[in-house]
């Protein structure tokens, strides 16, 4: 029988074995390899990312791990990550967690394959929704939602109750993207339990994560019940979004928000519009991508502020100085909170809430002059580890220190060493939105409250594709000078 060969001339099967990394065997991996389960000793299904972080220092800037029947190459060295940012040789790879979300988000902006025409179309139609002018338009709505949060926190303070930080940040960020993007109100702050949309979203993110950690041949069997629940979750997300779209169509248009752009804006050059199915995908994409990561970023920042009262006091003093006692700080007054913004950057350094992104070679190439990759080979950039590389951040990289983001300090660092929003054409479209919202809210909270930690709390991080501090509660005190 004639031997089948691949395009590279290798016998069929080789390509799968080395996954497009012809010198895969030269990439370090953890000791204790077991047949089938791989490097599973000490690995937890619940914390795959934090397990990788634990392995990374000993294995070096490029390493591989075999876990739950699959092998992955990870990259975290600053030099290698910078090379992967070269858009002439590399691009986003839709794999793993992102690929697992395809049944939910289809060819929506986040999960679209690079060559799918709906990516460019939606990107061009929606990008103006993130311009400076658009952001200034969202600002009053962001303020209104933040007011619901401070009302809620005032109630907790009066009752002497601690606040549920991740829970409340999720309410805030969901209401913010729903209101600014879609003119919708989920009533999160008025509910005892999360909105069913949120429950379904959390379910489907958790399922997408679990699919990564179950050996493929067993996944169907092990996850049968979970798959059924996941289908129900997706149906719930679709139903919520379809209703929201139907309301908008019935009302004949909003104030030029994201939904109006999705429904009514034609591509500036081709005149093409998003299909009804694609609009549904985009609404789900933005409701999910637009709040989960920002909620985590705010939650980590509040954790660190509660543990570093001197940093919180300095930031509060900045807010007092810049905002005075303006009841409603203006759009331009938010970007002036430089210290508050550095607190956010430093939180996203230690816990980038989208903790990894995948890159694939678009040509046969050599990664950082060392590791040959064939076209299509891919790797995961471990952002959370890049952000702890001692060669970039020093021996005290684990320490929370917002001064690392002083302009003079930033100038000493190489490009591509801080990548919480990904890289290149497929980097986060909502970056300015998230930073404006989070800086505004931190400013409002720092001005109004002193954050008092529970001394017994130890930071534990939940993973469901995104990161979140687990069970973080804080006590509040009113700042005598704050508004
Ligand atoms: Mn966001 C892509 C991180 C807030 C909408 N986002 C990405 C990527 C990262 C990321 C990383 C790239 C993923 C990849 O390469 O596979 N995003 C964040 C973080 C925050 C965030 C850390 C908050 C903090 N993102 C937001 C907000 C929105 C949003 C807010 C919307 C309002 N993000 C997106 C969309 C994409 C994306 C949409 C996909 C963009 C594209 O591929 O064209």
Protein residue closest via CA to atom 43 of ligand 1: 426
CA distances from 304 to 94, 301, 442 (A): 33, 5, 12
Mean pLDDT of 143-166: 97
Nearest CA to ligand 1 atom 42: 426
Q: How far is the CA of 297 from the centre of ligand 1 (A)?
A: 13
Amino acid 214: pLDDT: 73
Token couple for 113:
């394959």
The first and second tokens of residue 422, run together, are 């990904």
Return the ligand 1 atom nearest residue 94 CA: 16
Lowest mean pLDDT among 120-124, 248-252, 402-406: 248-252
Q: Does 285 have pLDDT greater than 80?
A: yes
Residue range 92-116: mean pLDDT, rounded = 92
User: Higher confidence at residue 9 or residue 172?
Assistant: 172
Give the burial class of 466: count Cβ atoms within 10 A of its Cβ; 0-12 exposed, 13-18 middle, 19 or more buried.
buried
pLDDT at 478 over 80: yes
- Tell me if the pTM is above 0.85: yes
Residues 6+ apart with CB under 8 A from 116: 107
Residues 302 and 445: beta-carbon distance below 8 Å: yes
pLDDT > 90? residue 483 = no
Determine the pLDDT at residue 296.
97
Would you list the DSSP string of 327-388? Answer: SS--HHHHHT-HHHHHHHHHHHHH--SS-EEEEEESSSEEETTTEEE-TT-EEEEEHHHHTT
Cα 391–Cα 417–Cα 289 angle in degrees, nearest 5:
140
**Per-residue pLDDT band at 255 (split at 50, 70, 90):** confident
Confidence bin at 30 (pLDDT 50/70/90): confident
pLDDT at 41 over 60: no
β 163-164/90-92 pair status: unpaired
Sign of CA dihedral 306, 311, 315, 321: positive
Share of the chain above pLDDT 70, in %: 92
Instruction: Give Cα separations from 450 to 142, 309, 338, 382 (angstroms).
Output: 22, 8, 20, 34
Q: In the structure, which protein residues have their CB atom closer than 6 angstroms to any atom of ligand 1?
A: 92, 98, 109-110, 123, 177, 285-286, 289-290, 293-294, 297, 352-354, 357, 420-422, 426-430, 433-434
- Every domain range in the chain assigned CATH 3.30.43.20: 1-114+357-397
Q: What is the pLDDT of residue 2?
A: 36
Q: Is the pLDDT of residue 458 over 80?
A: yes
pLDDT number for residue 387:
98
d(CA 180, CA 257): 7
* pLDDT band (50, 70, 90) for residue 226: confident
As a whole number, the mean pLDDT across the chain is 90
* 296 CA to centre of ligand 1 in angstroms: 13
- Per-residue confidence at 482, pLDDT binned at 50, 70, 90? low
pLDDT at residue 3, as a whole number: 37
Q: Which residues are catalytic?
A: 293, 421, 428
Q: Which backbone phi and psi does 361 adopt, to 5 degrees? A: -75, 130
- Report CA(154)–ligand 1 centroid distance (Å): 31
CA of 109 to the centre of ligand 1 (A): 9
The predicted-structure confidence for 321-356, as pLDDT tens digits, reads as follows 999 988 899 999 999 999 999 999 999 999 999 999
Q: Which of 174, 283, 289, 300, when mutated, tests ligand 1's pocket best, judged by the most ligand atoms within 8 Å of its CB?
A: 289
The answer to whether 68 and 93 are in contact (CB under 8 A) is no
Taking a C-beta distance cutoff of 8 angstroms, is the pair 317, 309 a contact?
no
Of 10, 31, 76, 37, nearest to 357 by C-alpha is 76
The residue-averaged pLDDT of 196-202 equals 88
- CATH fold of 1-114+357-397 reads 3.30.43
Nearest CA-CA partner of 163 in 449, 467, 480: 449
Q: How far apart are CA 74 and CA 308, in angstroms?
A: 33
Residue nearest to atom 14 of ligand 1 (CA): 357
In the predicted structure, residue 6 carries a pLDDT above the cut 50:
no
CATH class given for the domain over 117-354+420-483: mainly alpha
Asked if residues 66 and 33 have their Cβ atoms less than 8 Å apart, the reply is yes
* Six-digit token string for 89: 């040789």
Residue with tokens 């049968």: 224
Q: Return residue ranges of the chain for CATH 1.10.630.10.
A: 117-354+420-483
Centroid of ligand 1 to alpha carbon of 285 (angstroms): 10
- The minimum-distance atom of ligand 1 relative to the CA of 285 is 38
Q: How far apart are CA 73 and CA 63, in angstroms?
A: 6
Sheet with 473-478: list strands edge to edge: 163-164, 473-478, 449-453
Number of H helices, E strands in the chain: 21, 12
Amino acid 68: pLDDT: 65
């Amino acid at each position: 029988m004639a031997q089948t060969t691949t395009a590279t001339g290798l016998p069929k099967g080789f390509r799968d074995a080395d996954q497009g990394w012809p010198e895969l065997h030269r990439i370090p991996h953890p000791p204790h390899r077991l047949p089938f389960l791989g490097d599973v000793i000490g690995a937890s299904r619940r914390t795959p990312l934090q397990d990788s972080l634990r392995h990374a220092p000993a294995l070096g800037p490029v390493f591989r791990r075999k876990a739950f029947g699959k092998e992955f190459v990870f990259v975290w060295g600053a030099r290698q990550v910078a090379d992967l940012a070269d858009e002439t040789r590399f691009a986003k790879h839709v794999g793993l967690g992102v690929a697992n979300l395809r049944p939910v988000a289809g060819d929506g902006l986040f999960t679209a394959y690079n060559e799918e025409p709906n990516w460019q179309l939606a990107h061009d139609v929606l990008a103006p929704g993130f311009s400076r002018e658009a952001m200034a338009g969202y600002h009053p709505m962001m303020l209104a939602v933040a007011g619901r949060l401070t009302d809620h926190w005032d109630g907790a303070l009066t009752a002497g109750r601690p606040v549920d930080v991740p829970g409340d940040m999720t309410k805030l960020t969901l209401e913010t993207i729903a209101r600014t993007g879609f003119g919708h109100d989920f009533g999160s702050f008025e509910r005892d339990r999360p909105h069913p949309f949120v429950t379904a979203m959390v379910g489907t993110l958790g399922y997408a994560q679990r699919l990564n950690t179950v050996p493929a041949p067993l996944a169907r069997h092990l996850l049968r019940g979970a798959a059924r629940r996941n289908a129900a979750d997706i149906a719930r997300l679709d139903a919520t979004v379809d209703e929201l779209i139907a309301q908008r169509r019935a009302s004949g248009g909003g104030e030029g928000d994201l939904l109006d752009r999705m429904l009514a804006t034609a591509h500036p050059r081709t005149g093409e519009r998003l299909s009804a199915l694609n609009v549904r995908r985009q609404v789900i994409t933005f409701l999910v991508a637009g709040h989960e990561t920002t909620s985590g970023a705010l939650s980590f920042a509040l954790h660190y502020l509660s543990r570093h009262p001197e940093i919180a006091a300095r930031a509060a003093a900045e807010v007092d100085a810049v905002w005075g006692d303006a009841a409603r700080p203006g759009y331009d007054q938010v970007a002036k909170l430089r210290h508050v913004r550095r607190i956010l950057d430093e939180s996203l350094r230690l816990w980038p809430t989208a903790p990894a992104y995948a890159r694939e070679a678009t040509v046969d190439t050599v990664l950082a002059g060392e590791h040959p990759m064939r076209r299509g080979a891919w790797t995961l950039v471990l952002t959370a580890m890049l952000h702890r590389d001692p060669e970039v951040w020093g021996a005290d990289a684990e320490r929370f220190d917002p001064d690392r983001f002083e302009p003079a300090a930033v100038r000493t660092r190489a490009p591509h060493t801080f990548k919480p929003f990904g890289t290149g054409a497929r980097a986060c479209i909502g970056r300015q939105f998230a930073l404006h919202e989070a800086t505004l809210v931190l400013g409002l909270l720092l001005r109004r409250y002193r954050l008092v930690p529970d001394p017994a709390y130890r930071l534990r991080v939940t993973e469901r594709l995104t990161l979140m501090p687990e069970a973080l509660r804080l006590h509040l005190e009113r700042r005598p000078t704050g508004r």
